[in-house]
Amino acid sequence: AQTVTQSQPEMSVQEAETVTLSCTYDTSENNYYLFWYKQPPSRQMILVIRQEAYKQQNATENRFSVNFQKAAKSFSLKISDSQLGDTAMYFCAFMKRSGGSNYKLTFGKGTLLTVNP
Amino acid sequence: DADVTQTPRNRITKTGKRIMLECSQTKGHDRMYWYRQDPGLGLRLIYYSFDVKDINKGEISDGYSVSRQAQAKFSLSLESAIPNQTALYFCATSDPGGPNWTGELFFGEGSRLTVL
């Protein structure tokens, strides 16, 4: 079974600064997806960014980027120019990309990020 | 209107009561999921369904049952609610596997259940 570990239960950052959230995972699979989801106080789950394991290039979405280290099984999220609206719980998640009934997400326990003015 | 709708949004009930959480979606997705969120534990999978005739247990299915009434509807039931089932429950959908599949799950807004 896959496991996803987020070692930072809480983090804080000043507005306009950069912060990195850590995520490691354990799998024997070679073909998979990794995701970061954001959950603001509204409790809606919002996809921030995704990475396909076979792609070496790190994914980026505007101010959000990842550092994907496949050999180390590490998938960190970097938020640049932090904004107050980035305050949220962030979840790292893993999904196998093989066939059959494996298309389900395994989540980490989350990191609560607070952006301070 | 939201693509994935959960009802009720909030519910308080008593121990021993039967509770049903409903989920409907307009995304046309075959795959539907029920997750439970607890503070400090993240989201854990309760049940999932890949089509109307397919129901699968997740990692924490004890005490829960589901019904896939149609492609668009997936309900979660607690036959006899207990206090440790107090949690935030999410329904999610995903698009069928294929060359353009992104793996993304689309979530409802959550149903907060409190069992007294």
Tokens of A75: 């998938």
Look at B58 and A44 and tell me if their CB atoms are within 8 Å: no
pLDDT at B97: 66
Nearest CA-CA distance, residue B94 and chain A, Å: 9
On the question of pLDDT at A103 being above 90, the answer is no
pLDDT at A98: 67
With H, G, I as helix, E, B as strand and everything else as coil, classify residue A22. Answer: coil
Q: What are phi and psi of A84, to 5 degrees?
A: -55, -35
A41 interfaces chain B, CB cutoff of 8 Å: no
Cα A22 to Cα A117: distance, rounded to the nearest angstrom: 23
Q: Name the nearest CA neighbour of A19 among A68, A93, A87, A73.
A: A87
- The answer to whether A44 contacts B43, with C-beta atoms less than 8 Å apart, is no
The per-residue pLDDT for range B4-53, each reduced to its tens digit, is 999 999 999 999 999 999 999 999 898 999 999 999 999 999 999 988 99
* High-pLDDT (> 70) share of chain A, %: 95
pLDDT at residue A100 greater than cutoff 60? no
* CB environment B60-89: b (16+ within 10 A), e (fewer): ebeebebebeeebebbbebeebeeebebbb
| A99 vs B contacts (CB less than 8 Å) | 97
Shortest alpha-carbon distance between residue A15 and chain B (Å): 25
- By C-alpha distance, the chain B residue nearest A32 is B103
In this predicted structure, the answer to whether residue A108 has a pLDDT above a threshold of 80 is yes
| Residue A99 confidence (pLDDT) above 80 | no
SS3 annotation, B87-116: EEEEEEEECCCCCCCCCCCEECCCEEEEEC
Residue B18, min C-alpha distance to chain A (Å): 25
DSSP string, A59-101: PEETTEEEEEETTTTEEEEEE-S--GGG-EEEEEEEEE-SSSS
pLDDT in tens, A33-60: 999 999 999 999 999 999 999 888 999 9
**pLDDT at residue B1, rounded to an integer:** 62
Do residues A49 and A57 touch, judged by C-beta distance below 8 A? no
Tokens linked to A76: 């960190």
Q: Going by DSSP bridges, is the β-strand pair A32-39/A88-96 parallel, antiparallel, or unpaired?
A: antiparallel
- On whether the CB atoms of residues B85 and B113 are closer than 8 A, the answer is yes
A residues 62..91 contacting B (CB < 8 A): 91
Which pLDDT band, with edges at 50, 70 and 90, does B95 fall under? confident
Confidence band, pLDDT 50/70/90 cuts, at residue A104: confident
Look at residue B99 and tell me whether its pLDDT is greater than 90: no
Q: Is any Cβ of chain B less than 8 angstroms from the Cβ of A44? A: yes
- Closest in A6, A99, A107 to B43, CB measured: A107
CA dist B48 to A56, B43, B58, B68, B102, Å? 31, 14, 7, 10, 18
Question: What value does the mean pLDDT take over residues B86-112?
Answer: 88
Q: How far is A74 from chain B (nearest CA, A)?
A: 18
Which tokens is A102 given? 């494996």
CA torsion, points B82, A106, A113, B91, in degrees to nearest 10? -50
| Residue of B34, B37, B6 lying closest to B22 (CA atoms) | B6
Report yes or no: A8 at the B interface, CB cutoff 8 Å: no
Asked if B56's CB is within 8 angstroms of A50's CB, the reply is: no
The amino acid that residue A30 corresponds to is N
